[in-house]
Amino acid sequence: MGILRDRMHDDLKLKNYAPGTVEHYLRCAQVFVERFGISPLEIGEQAIREYVLALAKERSPSTVKMHVAAIRFLYVVTLRSPERVVGLHFPKVPRRLPDILSREEVWRLLEAIEPPKYRAVLMAAYGAGMRISEACSLLTTDIDSGRGVIHVRDGKRNRDRYVMLSPVLLATLRAYWKLYRPAVPILFPGERPQTCVSHKAVRLALHEGRARAGITKRVTPHCLRHAFATHLLEDGGDIRTIQALLGHGSIRSTAIYTQVSVAHVCKTPSPLDRIGRPAQVSGGGATQ
C-alpha cells in the first residue's frame, strides 16, 4: 500500500484508535488491496461486496466484521469515497458466553506463570479487572498504595478510571520491584528502552503457564478479566460497581456476567418449585 498505508495509519492515529486496532485495520486493508492489485479507487462497489461475500464463506463473522470495519475506514476516512461502501454492512456476530475459570483454577494458573514479571502483570489483570493492554502499560505512579487504588489511564475509548489495589497484589508488586528494580516510570518495561512489556510475551507466558497448571479450558488474558467480574458478582458485588471497575460504557456489557455466574444460576429457583407439590413419579409414569 505504501503511501496509502501511511495515510491510513496517520488517520487511525489522529482518531486515537487503540494500537491493536490500528494494527488489525492496516493488516485487513493490506490484504484487501493486494487481492485486487490495483488502486482502491479503481475498485467498484460490487467488487467490494463480492470480496466480503467470499470472505464470509471462509472466515468467522467476527473476522469478517473486522475486515468490513477496515475497508469502511479506508474508503470513508482515508480515501474520502464513502459512496463505495454505502451498502457494506457489518455481519451479525453470534454472542457466545465465555468460559469462566474457577478461583482455584485462577490461583493454579497464576502460580504456574514464569518469570515473576509476567506473573505480576497477569495478577494485576485479574486482581483489578484490567485489560492486558492496561496492565502492561502501568506506570509506577499509577500505583497509589496510600489510597489503595490503581489509576488506569487511557483505557478503552480513552477513559481513565480507578480500580482497587488488592493487598495481595501490592505485596506481589513490591516483591517484583525488589527483584527487577525497573527504571521508572514504566512498571513493566519491555526489551527495548522506554517501552512496556509486549502483549505477545505475556500471552506466551500465559499459554505456557496454562500447560504447567494442567488447565484444559481455553485461556487468554481476557479470561482473567472475565473471571474477575464473575467472582466479584458471586461475592455479592453490585453490578454498577463492577461496570465502573471494568470501564464498560454500557451496563449491557457487564450484565453478561449474570449469565455466566454459576452461583447466581444455582441460587435462582425454578418456577416448577412454585406451582405446588409436583406429581410423584412411580415406576414407568406419574401417579394419578
CA–CA separation, 226 and 147 (whole Å): 25
CA–CA separation, 187 and 87 (whole Å): 46
Instruction: Say whether 9 is catalytic.
Output: no
Fold assignment, 3-85: DNA polymerase; domain 1 (1.10.150)
Rounded to an integer, the average pLDDT of 147-172 is 88
- Residue pointed to by grid coordinates 418449585: 273
Tell me the CATH number for domain 103-266: 1.10.443.10
Annotated catalytic residue: which of 72, 84, 119, 131? 131
Instruction: Say whether 199 is catalytic.
Output: no
Annotated catalytic residue: which of 67, 199, 210, 225? 225
Instruction: Say whether 231 is catalytic.
Output: no
Instruction: Say whether 222 is catalytic.
Output: yes
Interval 128-157: pLDDT, tens: 999 999 999 999 999 999 999 999 987 776
36's CB contacts (< 8 A; 6+ apart) are 42, 43, 47, 51
- Three-class SS state of 113: coil
CA distances from 156 to 17, 19, 159 (A): 9, 11, 6
Annotated catalytic residue: which of 25, 75, 118, 257? 257
Which contiguous run of DSSP H or E holds residue 99? none
Annotated catalytic residue: which of 153, 203, 248, 264? 248
- 98-102, 213-217, 229-233, 276-280 — which one is most confidently predicted on average? 213-217
Instruction: Say whether 257 is catalytic.
Output: yes
Annotated catalytic residue: which of 5, 65, 108, 156? 156
Interval 255-274: pLDDT, tens: 777 766 666 666 666 666 66
Instruction: Say whether 75 is catalytic.
Output: no
Annotated catalytic residue: which of 212, 217, 222, 240? 222
CB contact burial 132-147 (16+ within 10 A = b; e otherwise):
bbbbbbbeeebbeeee
160's CB contacts (< 8 A; 6+ apart) are 151, 152, 153, 154
User: What is the structure's pLDDT at 194?
Assistant: 87
Kindly indicate the confidence band of residue 288, based on its pLDDT and cuts at 50, 70 and 90: very low
Q: Where do the domains of the chain lie?
A: 3-85, 103-266
